[in-house]
Structure 1
Amino acid sequence: MMRSTMHHNTSYPRFTEAEFSLRYAAVREAMRAVDLAALILCGTTSAYHEVLYLSNFIVTREAFLVFPDAGEPTLFIQMFNHVPNARQVACITDLRWGGSDTTNAVAENLLERGLAENRIGLVGPISFKQYESLRKMLPRAVFVDFTPQLLQLRLIKSEEEIDFLRKGAEFSDRAIEALAQQARPGITEYELAAIVEGAYLGLGGKNHIHYMATTPMSNPTICVPAQHQSNRVLQSGDVLITEISAHYHGYAGQILRPFAIGTPPTPEYLHMYDVAVEAFNRIAAVIHAGATTDEVLDASDFIHTSGFT
């Protein structure tokens, strides 16, 4: 039963037990469709959403989740000093340190479950070395990639997930509002990053990305937001281009917005902005349940016919 596998800590963001029951049932139905006895889900700091989906835990460094077709899942945390907090955040009761080699701990767990000769689904960024270790310890098991099936299940969001996405969008909006109020000549790009994160960290938001670049509108040297900020000092006449995503427990919003610094935008930048707004409106108008990617691409072709890429 789900109740036996979960505990509650209201200090951290948490989906309901009913939500996890629906997820577990859907994933297990998909597993049975391809005759899988268990899943091995690997998560890292930058690729954690599949582990989060079934455990409520945003991975730090590395974690593995053994998710059986029946019975209690086991979450292995690689960093020993991360285990105490993981027990507070994750919804899974059977949470353990993974030892010096988490892959070995995972294989031993499957042996203990009597699943050493079954079909096992693999999910996430499992390295070749880790895969070879699993094959060596479980030579009679058959490993198959289950990542596409789980990604497909995750595409359709529940109402609880949509609520989390709304928070991520709110935090992203707050970051843009803070830039609108505080970006000015004389500060550095480093300070822009501090402005962005300061808008939501105190409210429980976290940074996913804050890509930003500044360049003179009269003689631009970059046309896309930069992944790393520099010590460049903003000047009057610059444009600041942004791609901002803040998240709430793994559920991110995203917003891209340009700013003219110290002066109105030049005619060229204003025209480009007007085209972008019109393209956005055309694309938004065709996005609905049942729409195809071709419809979206057709709407976005307005960018090309306007002379831009």
Structure 2
Amino acid sequence: NREIYTNIYDTPWFEGCTYPKFSDEEYERRYKITREKMSRVGVDVLLAPGGPHHWSYGGGMMWLSGHWNWHCMVEYVVVPMQGETLQVYSQAGAHLEASRRLSYVKDLRSSRGGQFIKVISEWLHERGLEKSKIGIAESDWQFHEYVPINHLEQLEAFCPDATIELLPDFFHELVYLKSLEEQEFVAKAGKLVVDAIYAIRDRARPGIMEFQLAASAAKAILDGDGQLDFLIVGSTPMDHPAQLFGNPRPSWKELKEGDIILTELAAGYHGYSAQLGMPICVGKPTDRVRKFFDNIVLPGYLKMAEKIKPGNTLEDVRKAGLFFRENGAQSRPLHLHGIDFVSNSPHIGKDHVRAFPYEEEIKPGACLMLEPCPITAEGDLGMFYGHTFNVTEDGAVRVTDLKDELLIAT
């Protein structure tokens, strides 16, 4: 019956199933700094939501549990100042039992058909926390989105004596500098996205469609236990180009001899992502394409990459990016962004640095995506060239580890 299936627990199902996980010490670190910030902002209980879309990428829910949500807008981890936490998962039965083998949170409960806030409120009442000050973090701290309005209304109804506060930018400060364990997961995501770019190069030939290139990239990522974040793949003729950036919606357009493929790929590994973009020529590059890459794209990228090291500032990187304009090229507005779980602060453009004060100096633990996209003076061709870096105590390690070159599909 449904009630028994919903509440089933401690079955032998999925025995022997194992997953890549962080250590208990790593999770203890995360909860320690989470509670320190809760104390700083003055809340007794934190609702940490997370959703499946790009800008959330699991959010605080994933970071505090290791669980990935793909069923609904948000799921939750609920953190009190003291004691065990609660995780509310959308599903029940077999889904729930499988997730118990993955999640760090021991008290993992079903939403009972989407009744997330009712389950959370019952838990708060069980612990005498229904009158406390409850903070709700953003599920998406790029576009500053929180939780569905009905969830907020239900929390107010179920806990009328609680003080409820929305907490902007709660988690980014905690996750933008990664531990050594987290950097290892970023490095694994980097390996996956390298496999993906090579899969595109190896399949590219006349007659293959853009979406088929994306499919080959997807297979390479999934084959390494990765997650698809995004696959931007587009093509244009080298002898009369008309494209500045890859196609966010890879199409049925067939490749032709003499095309150039423009890419930006992002792969995840258990909640941590890396990005990579390199142009790929179908056949021999034209002289114009070769000269633009050799004289503008690669030298400008390398000048910026030299500045990514501890103690330098984001402004140092921005100034290095002036190379493109100084040498007669244009560029996309964005040259670099951070990666906490996915694309996020800081952001560097030709004439601006947008960052939190604590990000302005480059520090060990930061993860940065250097992604200049120089554009010809005529405005007919751009070449996105981007790689992901883990900043270390000694410098920076490029996790998308492959040779700096103009890729050629033959």
- TM-score (ref. length: structure 2): 0.69
Q: Answer with 99-108 or 239-248: which moved more.
A: 99-108
What secondary structure, in the 3-state scheme, does the structure 2 residue paired with 1:199 have? helix
Q: What are the residue-to-residue correspondences of 1:142-291 with 2, within 5 Å?
A: 142-268=163-289, 270-272=291-293, 274-291=295-312
2-structure distance, mates of 1:202, 1:93: 30
**Residue in structure 2 matched with residue 3 of structure 1 by the alignment:** none
2-structure distance, mates of 1:9, 1:113: 34
Deviation at 1:10, TM superposition (A): 6.5
Q: Answer with 75-84 or 224-233: which moved more.
A: 75-84
8 Å CA contact 1:37, 1:118 repeated in 2: yes
Offset from partner CA, 1:34-63 (integer Å, 9 cap, x none): 222111011111121311111011112231
2-structure distance, mates of 1:200, 1:272: 27
Aligned counterpart in structure 1 of residue 135 of structure 2, from 97, 108, 121: 121
2-structure distance, mates of 1:302, 1:142: 52
**Residue in structure 2 matched with residue 4 of structure 1 by the alignment:** none
Deviation at 1:270, TM superposition (A): 3.8
Deviation at 1:146, TM superposition (A): 3.3
**Residue in structure 1 matched with residue 153 of structure 2 by the alignment:** 132
Aligned counterpart in structure 1 of residue 37 of structure 2, from 21, 30, 45: 30
Deviant stretches of 4+, over 3 Å = none
2-structure distance, mates of 1:279, 1:37: 49
Alignment pair present for 1:64 and 2:64: no
2-structure distance, mates of 1:75, 1:41: 9
Alignment pair present for 1:110 and 2:110: no
Is the alpha carbon distance of 1:274 and 1:178 closer, same or farther for their aligned partners in structure 2, counting shifts above 3 Å? farther
8 Å CA contact 1:185, 1:262 repeated in 2: no
**Runs of 5+ unmatched residues, structure 2:** 1-14, 140-145, 332-410
2-structure distance, mates of 1:223, 1:250: 30
Alignment pair present for 1:308 and 2:334: no
Offset from partner CA, 1:256-300 (integer Å, 9 cap, x none): 100111232440464156422122211111122233222221111
2-structure distance, mates of 1:120, 1:74: 14
2-structure distance, mates of 1:20, 1:132: 31
Identity of aligned residues (%): 27
8 Å CA contact 1:9, 1:89 repeated in 2: no
What secondary structure, in the 3-state scheme, does the structure 2 residue paired with 1:75 have? strand
**Residue in structure 2 matched with residue 75 of structure 1 by the alignment:** 87
Alignment pair present for 1:93 and 2:126: no
Is the alpha carbon distance of 1:132 and 1:305 closer, same or farther for their aligned partners in structure 2, counting shifts above 3 Å? farther
Offset from partner CA, 1:144-166 (integer Å, 9 cap, x none): 23351321010110000011111
Is the alpha carbon distance of 1:85 and 1:220 closer, same or farther for their aligned partners in structure 2, counting shifts above 3 Å? farther
Is the alpha carbon distance of 1:45 and 1:248 closer, same or farther for their aligned partners in structure 2, counting shifts above 3 Å? same
More helix by share: 1
Q: Answer with 264-273 or 187-196: which moved more.
A: 264-273
2-structure distance, mates of 1:129, 1:176: 42
Amino acid at match of 1:39: L
Is the alpha carbon distance of 1:292 and 1:144 closer, same or farther for their aligned partners in structure 2, counting shifts above 3 Å? farther
**Residue in structure 1 matched with residue 22 of structure 2 by the alignment:** 15
Deviation at 1:181, TM superposition (A): 2.2
**Residue in structure 1 matched with residue 316 of structure 2 by the alignment:** 295
Deviation at 1:195, TM superposition (A): 1.3
8 Å CA contact 1:235, 1:262 repeated in 2: no
Q: Answer with 288-297 or 245-254: which moved more.
A: 288-297
8 Å CA contact 1:67, 1:74 repeated in 2: yes
Alignment pair present for 1:39 and 2:46: yes
Would you say how many aligned residue pairs link Structure 1 and Structure 2?
Answer: 302
Tell me the C-alpha RMSD between the 2 structures. 2.0
More strand by share: 2
Amino acid at match of 2:220: A
Is the alpha carbon distance of 1:71 and 1:282 closer, same or farther for their aligned partners in structure 2, counting shifts above 3 Å? same
2-structure distance, mates of 1:119, 1:269: 61
Aligned counterpart in structure 2 of residue 49 of structure 1, from 18, 43, 59: 59
